[in-house]
Copies of this chain bind each other. A is one copy, B any other.
Amino acid sequence: MSNHAAVSAQSDIRLGPVSCLVLGLIGLRGPSTPYDLKKAIGRSVSYFWPFPHSQLYGEPERLEAAGLLSCQTESSGRRRKLYKLTKKGDAALKKWLKTPPDTVFEMRDIAVLQLFFSEFMSEEDLVRLALSQAKLYRERLATYAEIEKTYAGRMGRNRRMASLYLGIRMAKACLEFWEDIAARPPSP
């Protein structure tokens, strides 16, 4: 990704999407520990911006160093750090949100990559691929359905849920796509 919409704080730190994601999440949830974020992310944001949890520990530190988050270490019980937005962090988040990106979605899909090279594949293997993908999408749609139930009806009319809604539409499109391939495998 080119660096669309990268916003720089006064202190010159570079704010990538991951930084903004952390900022935004803390903004939505209020003061949070990295582990809180890790849990919160699992079935929401990570569907349209995947990244490993280890970044949830390093990134806030950077942000704190830049004065966008403040951190208070809890001494009782397990050691853990509670981060909250500073004025500056709040401003940076809002500034970022005011800058529409000049890019569209990016997708990475190994199965589609294989399809692209499927001239080297037997029809049988191609069908196997399509079937296995279809199965995975059915599973994913099932977990989406779970989530959807929780928000019955408000999906799509609520801003935060709208994001997930797009994910569902995409997954549906993919499911249809692979089912079609499985049913009528295109010739090489």
Q: What residues on B are CB-neighbors of A160 within 8 Å?
A: 116, 118-119
Is A152 positioned at the interface, with any CB of B under 8 Å from its CB?
A: no
State the Cβ distance, A30 to closest chain B Cβ, in Å: 13
Task: Report copies per complex.
Answer: 2
Q: How far is the CA of A169 from the CA of B21 in the complex (A)?
A: 27
State the Cβ distance, A60 to closest chain B Cβ, in Å: 16
Given A48-B109, A163-B112: A27 and B117 within 8 A (CB)?
A: yes
Residues of A within 8 A of B (CB): 1, 4-5, 17, 20-21, 24, 27-28, 44-45, 47-50, 93-94, 96-98, 100-121, 125-126, 128-129, 132-133, 136-137, 140, 156-163, 165-167, 169-171, 173-174, 177, 181, 186-188
